[in-house]
Structure 1
Amino acid sequence: MWPKGILPFEPSDGDDNSRRKAATVGPFASAGAIARAAVPSAAIYKVSGDGGKASITYTGADSNMAQDTVAALPWEKKVTLKGFMKIASLTATNDFEASDGSKSTCEILVSGKVKFTQTGTGPGATASCSGSVD
């Protein structure tokens, strides 16, 4: 039971949609969370390797996915992530004609520091990095 005067939503006249909406954006979304969502976060995606090329998929602004299918390595892209969930995602897949020992490494940098990294080895191997940049 909520203490008197403190509700997760404003009472309504029975309109269930207004109750759900009010509960979603009501006092549970703190002013700090709203302020952080309004500030974009910059990330730098990097893919390096000795296989010469890779297929790269990444998250851009507003969580839209983008792809560079035959990217020459090394590859780099600066992105600006917006909204409540600033999730960076980067996947690099080695060329299928690469040698058995060829490697591709993905890195996501935030504020100049590597926050996520992974390496894949061999033809068609995948390295995948993802996580929150906040």
Structure 2
Amino acid sequence: MMTETTPRAAAEALVGAYYAAFNAGDRAAMCALLAADVAHDVNQGGRRIGLPAFRAFMAQMDAAYEERLEDIVVMADATGTRAAAEFVVVGRYLRTEPGLPEARGQAYRLPAGAFLAIADGKIARVTTYYNLQDWIAQVSA
């Protein structure tokens, strides 16, 4: 008996695969799930467009932070064009970023979430949110 995958299930699987690739440190696999013109809305920052900008952002993040995501919950709408994820970022601050506290390998645990748009089987937009003041307080303690 064949079961048909619903748009919602396909979207949830796509987003789940994206975050699994993040946790595996497999940036190539992450990028393979993104549209070429992906819009990436950085928390309290600007919008970056395209895979080259996304790759550059990830390289910068990987140099300054060691992170994994826990307690990931993915939800999608019935059309499979919108999804959301809630998770906890567990990390260490490795390299000082401009305008942020000095990095000394501080550990942090930060609730976060993301909204995603999906088109043609790829993630077309990623908008990430977390409480920056909470993170600053944790790494400043």
| Same fold? TM cut 0.5 | no
Greater fraction of residues in helix = 2
**If the length of structure 2 is used for normalisation, what is the TM-score?**
0.26
Greater fraction of residues in strand = 1
**If the length of structure 1 is used for normalisation, what is the TM-score?**
0.27
